[in-house]
Structure 1
Amino acid sequence: MTSVYPYLPEMIASFGVERKDVAKWAGATSAVFSVAQSLTAVPWGRASDKFGRKPIIMTGLFCTMCFFLAWGVSTSLKMAIIIRALQGACNGNVGIIRTMVAEMVQERELQPKAFSIMPLVWSVGSVFGPAFGGLFAKPAERFPGLFGNSYFFNKYPFALPNIIGGVVFLISLSTAMLFLKETLHSKRHSRDWGLILGRRITEAFKDRPFRRQQKLRRYSIQDAEASAPLLQTDGTSRPAKAGREKPVAPSMSSVFTRQTVISLVSYTFLALHSVAFDQVLPVFLNYPPQEHTPRNTSLPFFFSGGFGLNSGHIGTIFTFYGITSGVIQFVLFPPLCARFGVLRCFRVCVLVFPVIYFLLPFTVLVENATTRYAALLVLMICKAFAVIIGFPCSTILLTNSAASLSILGTLNGFATTFSALGRASGPALAGLAFTWGVKNNMIGAPWWILGFIAAVGSLPVWMIVEGEGPTAGSSDSSDAESTDAEEEAVVFDDDDDLLDNLTTARRGSGREQQGLLKKGSEDTRNTGYGTVR
């Protein structure tokens, strides 16, 4: 919801900026966000390797929520730019989400579905975010019956969509606290009171007939991944090995391999031109239309004019764009990757971007309004197809280029840093190019520059070799497997796993299995743990 503001051109103009300079300053607000994000991404990643993924994600969510609300009450261009920079600094932990997905899903055949969740969530946000931004901006003007006499909304016309966004952040923060499990290996066995509270809340809403059945399991482990020490075969607990608990800082040589560097470069180019497209498009749609005559039009390059849309119409277009992205992500992405492979899909996507960027400004030359909007939507759908498939493919390739799970936090921190530099330079460059193009009767200048950048960025993709993934070189994983084999013990993931294993034991061979069942039940009541040899 923080990536696209359909009301941004109007907000910048409300600060007293001339219309011809709106694109430049809109790009600047996006650039400072990404610059600050790039400066803090690696420290966020390092912190997640030391303190755990969950606390760092929650900290970033809380801080971003606070500055998101402050953005809505900005009263000057200087204030808006400073707040956007603070937003970016707090948003530098987005790479940790990719790290958690990689740590949870290590099977290559499941990676397309797992990594498609993040763009799918982005698509959902792209549906509701622009809609809320376009609909609820300037509520005193749009809904005078409700907000016309409100001093607050008359003074801060862009506060309401940000308040709605703050509520979404609060829901996300609460969900993370109550239900998100830690995936960092050295922190998995720490007690998580948030998960315990979440389990209690869940149990409170369960049907009564099932509570009696689960009474035996109520005092079992609260969350094996978060709080349980390993068990020896005799049922007594012992602490995990010190070597497995102490995180080791990865070396830079292990992080920056040849394939990792190539993947980072391609990911940076993708972030640069795709985000610049999303930032300059609202300005292009908001710019007044122009009647094209031989005096002001000299094809193929010299022409001007936009679509002349307000924030409400722009929000509607981006809502449709988000719905289309969600459909592509949910319906097309997994089967396409399964059939043609991640690398091949990524290569097709990077070839689509330059064509879209080159053609898009020519849509203003279409005289018929219906045909003009249809051409715009077709190009936006093609762009949605390329970006929704391209980003998760790039993320999967980057993850599989890592040699070990232990470097993923740092690697994704650098990925966020480099991509943020692209996100900063892209919108800033596109904003300056738009301003220059308006003054020189060349409205297509930013799009053609982005097309050239996309073409250059497609070259490294052809040097990528798809790796086997970080599981092969993960010392943490091998240590954990060998330790589990030596102990011949199973730490149950949650209460349901315990019940399933005890049920299996009940179906076994007579008295010996019944004795095992009884012992597991006693261990559950007394210690909260059970073992199966």
Structure 2
Amino acid sequence: MVKDFHMANGSDASFYAGILISAFSLAEAMTGMFWGSLSDRVGRKPVLLCGCFGTMLSLLLVGLAPNFWVALAGRALGGALNGNIGVIQTMVGELVKRPEHEPRAYAIMPFVWSIGTIIGPAIGGLLARPSESYPSLFPSEGLFGRFPYLLPNLVCSVLLLLSIIGGWFFLQETHPEMQCHSIHLFFEHTSAEQPLLATSGATANAGVDLRAESYGTFNQVSIHESWDVMEDGTSIAWKKSQKPKAFTWRVTMLVIALAIFTYHSMTYDHLLPIFLQDEKSPGHSPGHHSLLHIPGGVGLSTQTVGMIMSTDGIIALVIQSLIFPALASWLGVWRLFVVVTILHPVAYFMVPFVAILPQNLTFVGIYACLIVRNILSIIDYPVLLILIKQASPSDSVLGKINGLAASAGAASRTIAPPIAGFLYSTGAEVECTALAWWGSCFVALLGAVQLWFIQRKRGSSATMAPAVTCQYVPVPEQVPNDIVHIIVTDYDADADAAQADVGIASVSQ
């Protein structure tokens, strides 16, 4: 596409193509937190649909671009209007009520992403420049002859339009405060009777009448308002609590961990096809290289590299759907995060040695590297999302936190390719292409060191979301003593194996 714009030829074309790719991530990094905060105020659904609409406009603008600068503006517009990554992460977190379901739920996003990385390039390859590939259907003097990259963008825009229509009619709002029947209460001082037996069969939106002796079902806990109930049960004081602080130390450290992971993972995706296609050094002889002298790449053809990358996508799908949920259930989310973070540097350190393997072991080495890297990276991403969700002080700031995480990830995706490319070029000049890989290994080591600064949240917390919106301020002179029965589900957010205790407490006045 860049060559068709007559901006550059040869190696310069890759530079301008990199600018187009980075424009989206840079704009997303600048606006991701805004969209996350907006979703906390107006709801997840409108922000998500707005992001889809912005992406659709971006695709059409790029497809109709007469020159490089219009295409660049289209890419930047798409990034600026698309806050969907953080919003979708927030919606998944709000939809999942039980910790043991989180690994499978958060694995859906990278699973769908992997499918998209397979289907997307296929759409682009089959439909780009249709006047040359299908001249009988798309004449060169027509619209698609003038804009050779419009057709694949148009097809993707139609798919997005269908998504917007489907979301408008069928997607439910997940923000607790934007739903019709929700309340957020926190009882700071309560007089509780002995817990009764657990109840069963309650609906997700069962009603509760605070003026009568009845039971109400609560399916979520959140801290927004405080009720003071005196121990003698004689008075209730209603007071507003301060809005919870979003960016606690634990949240900040986990977002930094996500940025570090995104950086070195992005460098892998950028470097691998270059390394596999780069020619072997002249006079290559296995066994005659030192750690500081590994010149050249593997020397594979473009077709072979394409086959390897397709296989890589299949490996990723298997890990996401089968291996990750099983490991998360076995080790627990926190232990799994620690293990993959510590082992991640190995995935980068081992890659350059593929270039000096004997020819009969080259593909064995390549696929071994792919399997190790996929296991570590595919597990690390959803685990980090789960930990960030668990670290959120309140649902009211979850969108803001995920927006910051999306911005941090986008910033890493912006700077990772040029830095990795520079290190690879520098390494090629000094006959050590391992330099770029070991640069990524060093960043992964920093991520392992950063583990020591992440506080592991301990202890149980209980939050409640009942079925009605209400404010109860009893007047002793007019209202007799009332009893409110509350069903509370108590989760240990960071337990390695999810546990839940259900009981009934009574608050009397």
Q: Do Structure 1 and Structure 2 share a fold, with TM-score over 0.5?
A: yes
State the AA in 1 paired with 2:461: A
Residue by residue over 1:84-124, the C-alpha shift from the partner in whole angstroms, topping out at 9 and shown as x without a partner, is 22221122331111111111213212211221221221122
Whole-Å separation in 1 of the counterparts to 2:132 and 2:432: 34
Kindly indicate whether the alpha-carbon contact (under 8 Å) linking 1:74 and 1:156 is maintained by their aligned counterparts in 2.
yes
Note closer, same or farther for the CA distance 1:433–1:314 as it changes in structure 2 (3 Å cut).
same
CA shift for structure 1 position 187: 1.8
Q: What does the per-residue CA deviation read over 1:109-167, in whole Å, with 9 as the maximum and x for residues that have no partner?
A: 22112212212211221232233334444455555676585755555444443333333
Query: Which residue of structure 2 aligns with residue 477 of structure 1?
Result: 465
Which residue of 2 is the match for residue 303 of structure 1? 295
Q: Matched residues in 1 for 2:6 and 2:279: separation?
A: 23
- Equivalent residue, structure 1, for 2:345: 354
Aligned mates of 2:264, 2:135 — CA distance in 1: 39
- Does 2:448 correspond to 1:455? no
Deviation (angstroms), 1:306: 5.9
Corresponding residue for residue 110 of structure 2: 119
| Alpha-carbon distance, 1:230 to partner | 8.9
Cα distance in 2 for residues equivalent to 1:387 and 1:12:
34
Whole-angstrom CA distance in 2 between matches of 1:356 and 1:279 = 15
Cα distance between partner residues in 2 of 1:381 and 1:467 = 32
Greater strand percent: which structure?
2
Q: 314, 328, 335: which one pairs with 1:337?
A: 328
- The residue matched to 1:459 in structure 2 has which SS? helix
Does the 8 A contact of 2:2 with 2:13 survive in 1? no
Structure 2 counterpart of 1:112, one-letter code: P
Is the CA contact (8 Å cut-off) linking 1:12 and 1:25 kept in structure 2? no
Task: Tell me the distance in 2 between the aligned counterparts of 1:13 and 1:437.
Answer: 31
| Alignment counterpart, residue 467 of structure 1, candidates 453, 457, 469 | 457
1:26 CA drift (Å): 4.1
| 2:385 corresponding residue in structure 1 | 395
- Residues in 2 aligned to 1:308 and 1:155: alpha-carbon distance in whole angstroms: 35
CA distance in 2, matches of 1:453, 1:144: 49
**Contact 1:131–1:319 under 8 Å retained in 2:** no
Corresponding residue for 1:68?
59
Look up the SS of the partner of 2:103 in the other structure. helix
Residue equivalent to 1:323? 314
After superposition, give the CA deviation of every residue in 1:336-370 in whole Å (9 maximum; x if it has no partner).
101111122122222343222233244344563x7
Correspondences of 1:131-146 after superposition (within 5 Å): 131-140=122-131
Structure 1 residues 249 and 41: alpha-carbon distance in aligned structure 2, compared to 1, 3 A threshold: farther
Q: 1:177 to 1:440 in 2, by over 3 A?
A: farther
Alignment CA distance shift 1:328-1:99 (3 Å): same
Structure with greater proportional helix content: 1
Q: CA deviation at 1:396?
A: 0.6
Over 3 Å counting, the alpha-carbon distance change for 1:459 and 1:171 in structure 2 is: farther
**Percent identity (aligned):** 31
1:283 CA drift (Å): 4.3
What residue is the counterpart of 1:509 in the other structure? none
Corresponding residue for residue 495 of structure 1: none
- The structural deviation recorded for 1:413 is 1.1
Q: Aligned partners of 2:284 and 2:390: how far apart in 1?
A: 54
> Which one of 251, 255, 268 corresponds to residue 246 of structure 2?
255
Does residue 1:274 correspond to 2:268, yes or no?
no
Aligned match for 2:426, one of 432, 436, 452 = 436
CA distance in 2, matches of 1:166, 1:468: 46
TM-score (norm 1): 0.69
Q: Give the direction of change, closer, same or farther, for the CA distance of 1:25–1:436 in structure 2 (3 Å limit).
A: farther
- CA spacing shift, 1:24–1:332, aligned 2, 3 Å: same
After superposition, the Cα gap between the structure-2 partners of 1:432 and 1:336, relative to the gap in structure 1 and judged at 3 Å, is same
> SS at 2:46's partner residue?
helix
Return the alpha-carbon distance in structure 2 between the equivalents of residues 22 and 329 of structure 1. 35
Contact 1:356 1:379 in 2 (8 A): yes
CA shift in 2, pair 1:150/1:74, >3 Å: same
Alignment partner of 1:382 is 2:384:
no
More displaced 10-residue stretch of structure 1: 110-119 or 274-283: 274-283
Structure 2 Cα separation of the partners of residues 249 and 67 of structure 1: 42
1:116 counterpart SS class: helix
Deviation at 1:489, TM superposition (A): 12
User: 1:288, 1:57 → 2: CA distance?
Assistant: 41
Q: CA deviation at 1:78?
A: 3.5
Closer/same/farther in 2, CA of residues 113 and 269 from structure 1, 3 Å limit: same
Q: What amino acid does structure 1 have at the position aligned with 2:296? A: S
In structure 2, what residue type is equivalent to 1:122?
Answer: W
Structure 1 pair 371/126, CA: closer, same or farther in 2 (3 Å)? farther
Query: What secondary structure sits across from 2:152 in the alignment?
Result: helix
The answer as to 2:79 corresponding to 1:88 is yes
The amino acid across from 1:477 in the alignment is A
Distance 1:387 1:125, change over 3 A: same
- Pair 390,148 (structure 1): closer, same or farther in 2 beyond 3 Å: farther
Partners of 2:54 and 2:74 in 1: CA distance: 11
Whole-angstrom distance in 2 between the partners of 1:465 and 1:78: 46
Distance in 1 between residues matched to 2:38 and 2:437, nearest whole Å: 38
Q: TM-score, normalised by structure 2?
A: 0.72
**1:270, distance to aligned residue in structure 2 (A):** 0.8
Deviations 1:228-265 (A, max 9, x none): 9999999xxxxxxxx99xxx9985x7112121121111
**C-alpha separation between the residues in 1 aligned to 2:155 and 2:429?**
37
Q: Which stretch shows the higher mean deviation, 27-36 or 385-394?
A: 27-36
User: 1:35, 1:420 within 8 Å by CA — same for their partners in 2?
Assistant: yes
CA distance in structure 2 between the partners assigned to 1:93 and 1:250 by the alignment: 28
Alpha carbons 2:103, 2:383 under 8 Å: kept:
yes
Contact 2:246 2:392 in 1 (8 A): yes
- Which 5+ residue runs of structure 2 have no aligned equivalent? 182-203, 213-223, 226-239, 473-481, 488-509
Q: Could you tell me how far 1:63 is from its partner in structure 2? A: 0.8
2:135 is the counterpart of 1:106: no
| SS class of match (1:391) | helix
What is the RMSD of the two structures over their aligned residues, measured on CA atoms? 3.9
Given the superposition, is the C-alpha separation of residues 363 and 481 from structure 1 closer, same or farther in structure 2, using an over 3 Å criterion? farther
The residue aligned with 1:19 is 10
The reply to whether residue 183 of structure 1 matches residue 174 of structure 2 is yes
Is contact 1:49-1:409 (8 Å) kept? yes
1:378 Cα deviation after fit = 3.0
Structure 1 residue matching 2:465: 3-state secondary structure: helix
Question: Closer, same or farther in 2 for the Cα pair 1:307/1:338, shift >3 Å?
Answer: same
Quick one: structure 1 residues 333 and 288, their matched pair in 2 at CA, closer, same or farther if it must change by over 3 Å?
A: closer
